[in-house]
Amino acid sequence: MIKLHDKYFKPFISAAQIDKAMQKLADDILKDVGDEIPVFVGILNGSFMVVSDFVKKYKNPCEVTFIKLASYEGVKSTEDIQRLIGLTQDLTGRTVVVLEDIIDTGNTLAEVHRIFKNEKVKSLKIATLFYKPEAYKKDFKLHYVGMEIPNKFIVGYGLDYDGLGRNLPEVYQIKDTQHMTNLVLFGPPGAGKGTQANFLKEKYNLVHISTGDVFRYNIKNETALGMLAKSYMDKGELVPDQVTIDMLNAEVEKNADANGFIFDGFPRTNAQAEALDNLMDTKDSQINAMIALEVDDEILVERLLKRGETSGRADDADEAIIRNRIKEYYQKTAILKDFYSAQDKYYGVDGVGSIEDITVRLSSVIDSL
The catalytic residue positions are: 193, 268, 307, 313, 325
Is 114 flagged in the annotation as binding?
Answer: no
Order across the sheet with 39-44: list the strands. 83-85, 63-69, 39-44, 95-103, 123-131, 144-148
Is 244 flagged in the annotation as binding?
Answer: no
Q: CA-CA distance, 334 to 100, in Å (whole number)?
A: 52
Is 194 flagged in the annotation as binding?
Answer: yes
Is 272 flagged in the annotation as binding?
Answer: yes
Is 239 flagged in the annotation as binding?
Answer: yes
Is 351 flagged in the annotation as binding?
Answer: no
Neighbour tally for 5: CB within 10 Å: 9
Is 120 flagged in the annotation as binding?
Answer: no
The tally of CA atoms less than 13 A away on the side-chain side of residue 128 is 24
Q: CA-CA distance, 11 to 247, in Å (whole number)?
A: 25
Is 303 flagged in the annotation as binding?
Answer: no
Cβ-in-10-Å burial (0-12, 13-18, 19+) of 351 comes to buried
Is 323 flagged in the annotation as binding?
Answer: no
Is 325 flagged in the annotation as binding?
Answer: yes
Q: CA-CA distance, 368 to 340, in Å (whole number)?
A: 16
Q: Which of 332, 268, 328, 266 is nearest to 297 (CA)?
A: 328
Which parts are annotated binding residues for ATP? 190-195, 307, 353
Which parts are annotated binding residues? 190-195, 211, 216, 237-239, 265-268, 272, 307, 313, 325, 353
Which parts are annotated binding residues for AMP? 211, 216, 237-239, 265-268, 272, 313, 325
